[in-house]
Amino acid sequence: MEAAEFRDSHNNISQSDAVVLGISTDAAAALDAFALELGLPYSLASDRAGEVRRLYDVQRRFGLGTSRVTYVIDPSGKIQSAYHNEFATKSHAHHAIEILRTLRDS
């Protein structure tokens, strides 16, 4: 599960002075319960109206749910990486860590 992978990788991500923010079309109350259940050390935000999804041009998956995309955004607001993978959800956190390491070392 993508959220749990980011939870388990949170220390590695934090070492790069990065911030994790999960965004979902679920209601805020559902996200709060989900975060509590999984013990997430990062915030989740509700995008019920799909405004953030449209701003970042995230497509709907098969016309239903929103696609899974992980963005690494630098301090100036520039997108350094957009990673999309519907099926290997555990790969999102690993990819983000690799991008953060590359940015740190460059």
Percent of the chain with pLDDT over 90: 63
- pLDDT tens, residue by residue, 38-69: 999 999 999 999 999 899 888 766 666 678 88
Two structure tokens written together for 73: 């955004």
What's the domain range around 12?
2-105
Q: CA-to-CA distance for 80 and 66, rounded, in angstroms? A: 21
pLDDT at 62: 62
Q: Domains in the chain: how many in total?
A: 1
Largest CA distance in the chain: 40
Average pLDDT over residues 3-11: 94
CATH of the domain at 25: 3.40.30.10
What does the mean pLDDT of the chain come to?
90
State residue 88's pLDDT score. 83
Yes or no: say if 6 and 42 are a contact pair by the CB < 8 Å rule: yes
Distance CA 20, CA 42 (A): 6
